[in-house]
Amino acid sequence: MTRRALIAGNWKMHMTTADAEVLASQVAEASKDATDRDVLVAPPFTAIGAVTAALEGSAVIVAGQNVCWEEQGAFTGEISPVMLKDLGATAAIVGHSERRQIFGESDQLINQRVVGGLKFGLTVVLCIGETLEEREAEQTLTILEKQVRGGLDGITPKDMTRVVIAYEPVWAIGTGKTASTAKAEEAHAFIRKLIGDLYEKDIADQMRILYGGSVKPANVDELMAQPDIDGALVGGAALDAESFQRIINFK
């Protein structure tokens, strides 16, 4: 089964509108020949409109960095799936470890976001990953299973075609430490097997599982060579057009 690779840049809380426009144009240029893979950027909410405008005519996908489950209402500080779509986004990242760790988002809350994003037609990138403490206590696979089961609770097989999973070990995010390719592959294979058990093998086989955590030009080729690593969710290196271009064009 060959899965189409997906290289995603999570811009986190960076970029003014003007900076985002420049970077988006550079990403469009950098990815124009990469027709055998998908490229996604997740700007801050404030820059999504400018980014989709700058990307017009390009195949780059635009995502929100989070999404609420309701169309509108009294949800101060949140963004609705309809608002994301209104700005031209077609996807949303959900359950990023920064949402879990800093803002206390639970698997149950994250599941509501997954359900809501899918209900309104978005592609959802569900992030999961263990902390250093959990890894040292040898709980990695248990934690991943809990986050997958919790995050995907109630999701139908049909909707699973619009779900991407991103495995991001928390200890590898922004630290310069990457999981060894063997450890990353082990986690990815485990997640795929679990999806096969929860759904069916076909769904597991077509599901894209991205790796995230200090992905950079120097390590992307080796990561992407692993059979169960189908793409990358890139933080810091996605803010630099030259580095992101190299990552998009992994070999």
- Give the number of other Cβ atoms within 10 Å of residue 114's Cβ: 27
| Contact mark string toward ligand 13P, 94..133, x via CB under 6 A | --x-------------------------------------
Cα 148 to Cα 195: distance, rounded to the nearest angstrom:
8
CA 248 distance to own-chain centroid: 14
Residue environment code for 51-78, b if the CB has 16+ CB neighbours within 10 A, otherwise e: bbebbeebebbbbbbbbbbbeeeeeeeb
29 as an active site residue: the answer is no
Residue placing its CB nearer to ligand 13P in the complex, 155 or 166 = 166
Active-site hit among 96, 98, 130, 188? 96
* Residue 10 near ligand 13P by CB under 6 A: yes
The residue from 21, 98, 105, 168 that is catalytic is: 168
CA distance 43 to 47: 6
CA distance 239 to 89: 19
> In what helix (H) or strand (E) does residue 61 lie, and over which residues does it extend?
strand 61-64
Q: How many alpha carbons lie under 13 Å from residue 107 in its C-beta half-sphere?
A: 14
2 versus 117: smaller Cβ distance to ligand 13P: 117
Choose which of 212, 220, 230, 250 interacts with ligand 13P (CB under 6 A). 212
Give the x-and-dash track for 158-187 against ligand 13P (CB under 6 A).
----------x----xx-------------
How many other C-beta atoms are found inside a 10 Å radius of the C-beta of residue 13? Answer: 8
The smaller minimum CB distance to ligand 13P, of residues 50 and 94, is found at 94
* 19: enclosing H helix or E strand: helix 17-31
Q: Is 14 tagged catalytic?
A: no
Residue 215 in contact with ligand 13P, rule: CB under 6 A: yes
Residue 224 is encoded by which pair of tokens? Answer: 């992407």
Chosen residue from 213, 230, 247, 250 binding ligand 13P by CB under 6 A: 213
Judged by CB under 6 A, the chain residues 43 through 102 that form the site for ligand 13P are 96
| 127 vs 148, beta carbon nearer ligand 13P | 127
Tokens found for residue 56: 């017009």
Q: Tell me the two tokens of residue 163.
A: 């779900």
234 is a site residue for ligand 13P (CB under 6 A): yes
Q: For ligand 13P, give the closer residue by CB, 13 or 74.
A: 13
Q: Which residues bind ligand 13P (CB under 6 A)?
A: 10, 96, 168, 173-174, 212-215, 233-237
Catalytically annotated residues: 96, 168
